[in-house]
Amino acid sequence: MFDIGTPELLLLIVLAVILFGPERLPDLARRVARMISYVRRMADSAQRQLKDELGPEFSNLEVRDLNPKTFVQKHLLNDVEPIVADVKKDVLEASESINGAKPVSPGGPQDVVETATPARATTPFDSDAT
């Protein structure tokens, strides 16, 4: 969940010693550990209760699946991704042929069709509009 490196951990330990003192630090660490354990048990219990109440068709439900972004990715975009990949491939091939690649027809090199690069249109500039 959180990615704490060695410098951050050392900073937290030093701050804890300064704020709470070395006498109270072990008791505080035990309390924090109990609180984290309690919160994890509550979350596991809530997840188990949710699965039980939804029924067997939702037995593989994960709490992460309730996030709208994950839900859309899992249930909607997974079906569309192959189609999007095909369209991107077609667009890439079309842009390569427009940018100067000469496609070879099945008849051989004598049937090569030259493609003209489109003239770039310049947008009109209106100095009064700015």
Using DSSP's 3-state secondary structure scheme, residue 95 falls into helix
Q: Quick one: pLDDT at residue 98?
A: 79
Tens-digit pLDDT profile for residues 30-64: 999 999 999 999 989 988 888 888 788 777 777 77
| Annotated domain spans of the chain | 1-61, 63-102
pTM over 0.75: no
Give the list of residues 6+ apart from residue 54 with CB closer than 8 angstroms, or none. Answer: 61
